[in-house]
Amino acid sequence: MSGTTDPGVADPAAPAAPPRSNGELVFEEPWESRAFGVAVALHDARVVDFETFRAHLIDEIAAWEAEHRPSAAGYRYYERWLAALERTLLEAGLVDAPRVEAARTALEHEWSHDHDHDH
């Protein structure tokens, strides 16, 4: 991360801070680190306002929690991160909904194809 990165990313106590273990960011899958990196790079390039993104992230986390019991399985922080990033980019007019949906569909198809051998 560059020196211009928002302190909210670096501060583990900030609202909606990324998961950490021993002070290091934790990513369960490669796409999570890429989603994180895209958001940080867009902020560093001054394309995305991090406060707007963080507000969307807090909203996404709260919406998930409102629909699930606190002990419910299935919570994935970076799914909420990605939803907040999509929302931020859509609101800023940097992407359009059909393109986001097409990309999501393609990625889901690719993921399911790559993981068919697991079943």
Instruction: Name the one residue in this structure whose structure tokens are 């929302």.
Output: 87
For 78, the domain range is 7-94
The string of pLDDT tens digits covering residues 9-26 is: 556 667 788 999 998 999
In a domain, 102, yes or no: no
Q: Is 45 helix (H, G, I), strand (E, B) or coil?
A: coil
Number of domains comprising the chain: 1
Kindly state the tokens that stand for 64: 């998930």
Residue 38 domain-assigned (yes or no): yes
- 54 lies in a domain? yes
Asked if the structure places residue 48 within a domain, the reply is yes
Q: Is residue 89 part of a domain?
A: yes
pTM of the predicted structure, to 2 decimals = 0.76
Does a structural domain hold residue 84? yes
Look at residue 21 and tell me if it is in a domain.
yes
**What integer pLDDT is reported at residue 1 of this predicted model?**
41
pLDDT at 116: 65
64-100 tens-digit pLDDT: 989 987 677 888 999 999 999 999 999 999 999 998 8
Q: Is residue 79 part of a domain?
A: yes
What whole-number distance in Å separates Cα of residue 102 and Cα of residue 108? 10
Tens digit of pLDDT for each residue in 105-117?
888 877 777 666 5
One-letter amino acid of 4: T
Which among 75, 97, 2 is positioned nearest to 42, based on CA atoms?
2
Output DSSP code: residue 118: G
19 phi and psi angles, rounded to 5 deg: -65, 145
